[in-house]
Chains A and B, each alone.
Chain A
Amino acid sequence: MARSVTTRHKVTATIFAWIVALLIFFPILYTIITSLKSETEAIAGFNLLPSFTLESYITVQTQRDYLTPFMNSVIISVGSTILALIIAVPSAWAMAFSPTKRTKDILMWMLSTKMMPAVAVLVPIYLIFRDLGILDSRIGLTVVLMLINLPIVVWMLYTYFREIPGEILEASRMDGAGLWQEIVYVLTPMAVPGIASTLLLNIILAWNESFWTIRLTTTNAAPLTAFIASFSSPQGLFWAKLSAASTMAIAPILILGWFSQKQLVRGLTFGAVK
Chain B
Amino acid sequence: MATQNTKTLARLMMAPSVLLLLVWMIVPLAMTLWFSFQNYNLLDPSSDGFTGFFNYEYFYTDPAFFQSVWNTLVLVGGVLLITVIGGIAIALLLDQPIFGQGIVRILVISPFFVMPPVAALIWKNMIMHPGYGVLADISKFFGLQPVDWFASYPLFSIVVIVAWQWLPFATLILLTALQSLDGEQKEAAEMDGANFINRFIYLTLPHMSRAITVVILIQTIFLLGVYAEILVTTNGGPGYASTNLAYLIYRVALLNYDAGGAAAGGIIAVILANIVAIFLMRAVGKNLDR
Residues of A within 8 A of B (CB): 1, 3, 5, 9-11, 13-14, 16-18, 20-22, 24-25, 27-28, 30-31, 34, 42-43, 45-46, 87-88, 90-91, 93-95, 97-98, 100, 104, 106-108, 110-125, 127-128, 147, 150-151, 154, 204, 207-208, 210-211, 214-215, 224-226, 228-229, 231-232, 237, 239, 242-243, 246, 249-250, 253-254, 256-258, 261, 264-265, 268-274
7 pairs of residues in contact across A and B, judged by CB atoms under 8 Å = A3-B190, A24-B107, A24-B111, A30-B134, A90-B14, A239-B126, A254-B113
With a cutoff of 8 Å between Cβ atoms, the chain A residues found around residue B224 in the complex are 117
Report the minimum CB–CB distance from A191 to chain B (whole Å).
14
Which B residue's beta carbon lies closest to that of A107? Answer: B288
Whether A13 contacts B126 by the Cβ 8 Å rule is no
Which B residue's beta carbon lies closest to that of A106? Answer: B18
Whether B210 contacts A116 by the Cβ 8 Å rule is no
Whether B21 contacts A211 by the Cβ 8 Å rule is no
Whether A125 contacts B28 by the Cβ 8 Å rule is yes
Whether B96 contacts A17 by the Cβ 8 Å rule is yes
With a cutoff of 8 Å between Cβ atoms, the chain A residues found around residue B29 in the complex are 116, 120-121, 124
Whether B16 contacts A114 by the Cβ 8 Å rule is no
Report the minimum CB–CB distance from A192 to chain B (whole Å).
19
6 closest Cβ contacts across the A-B interface? A120-B266, A121-B28, A257-B113, A124-B31, A90-B13, A210-B228
Whether A254 contacts B107 by the Cβ 8 Å rule is no
Given contacts A9-B96, A232-B231, A249-B118, 16 further A-B contacts (CB under 8 A): A10-B97, A20-B90, A24-B110, A25-B108, A46-B137, A91-B16, A94-B9, A94-B14, A115-B276, A116-B270, A119-B266, A123-B32, A123-B266, A215-B250, A229-B228, A270-B287
Whether A14 contacts B287 by the Cβ 8 Å rule is no
Whether A210 contacts B116 by the Cβ 8 Å rule is yes
**B156 close to chain A: CB less than 8 A:** no
Whether B108 contacts A24 by the Cβ 8 Å rule is yes
**B10 close to chain A: CB less than 8 A:** yes
Cα A115 to Cα B223 with chains together (Å): 11
Which B residue's beta carbon lies closest to that of A204? Answer: B113
Whether A104 contacts B285 by the Cβ 8 Å rule is yes
Report the minimum CB–CB distance from A7 to chain B (whole Å).
10
Which B residue's beta carbon lies closest to that of A84? Answer: B17
Cα A151 to Cα B270 with chains together (Å): 18
Whether B169 contacts A268 by the Cβ 8 Å rule is yes
Report the minimum CB–CB distance from A121 to chain B (whole Å).
4
Report the minimum CB–CB distance from A222 to chain B (whole Å).
12
Whether B249 contacts A120 by the Cβ 8 Å rule is yes
Report the minimum CB–CB distance from B97 to chain A (whole Å).
5
Whether A268 contacts B218 by the Cβ 8 Å rule is yes
Whether A91 contacts B14 by the Cβ 8 Å rule is yes
With a cutoff of 8 Å between Cβ atoms, the chain B residues found around residue A94 in the complex are 9-11, 13-14
With a cutoff of 8 Å between Cβ atoms, the chain B residues found around residue A11 in the complex are 99
With a cutoff of 8 Å between Cβ atoms, the chain A residues found around residue B180 in the complex are 274
With a cutoff of 8 Å between Cβ atoms, the chain B residues found around residue A95 in the complex are 10, 14
Contact (A116, B107) CB under 8 Å given A94-B9, A207-B115, A265-B173: no
Cα A75 to Cα B271 with chains together (Å): 34
Cα A147 to Cα B18 with chains together (Å): 11
**B232 close to chain A: CB less than 8 A:** yes
Cross-chain contact of A211 among B27, B119, B227, B263 (Cβ < 8 A): B227
Whether A273 contacts B112 by the Cβ 8 Å rule is no
With a cutoff of 8 Å between Cβ atoms, the chain A residues found around residue B110 in the complex are 24-25, 28, 254, 257-258
Whether A120 contacts B269 by the Cβ 8 Å rule is yes
With a cutoff of 8 Å between Cβ atoms, the chain B residues found around residue A14 in the complex are 98-100
Cross-chain contact of B232 among A107, A119, A229 (Cβ < 8 A): A229
**B181 close to chain A: CB less than 8 A:** no
With a cutoff of 8 Å between Cβ atoms, the chain A residues found around residue B211 in the complex are 269, 273
Q: 1/0 contact trace for B98-142 toward A, CB 8 Å?
A: 111001111111111111111111111111000110100110110
Whether A273 contacts B210 by the Cβ 8 Å rule is yes
**B69 close to chain A: CB less than 8 A:** no
Whether B13 contacts A93 by the Cβ 8 Å rule is yes
Cα A228 to Cα B265 with chains together (Å): 28
Cross-chain contact of A27 among B28, B115, B127, B190 (Cβ < 8 A): B127
With a cutoff of 8 Å between Cβ atoms, the chain B residues found around residue A128 in the complex are 27-28
With a cutoff of 8 Å between Cβ atoms, the chain A residues found around residue B17 in the complex are 87-88, 90-91, 110, 150, 154
Whether B132 contacts A111 by the Cβ 8 Å rule is no
Cα A251 to Cα B104 with chains together (Å): 18
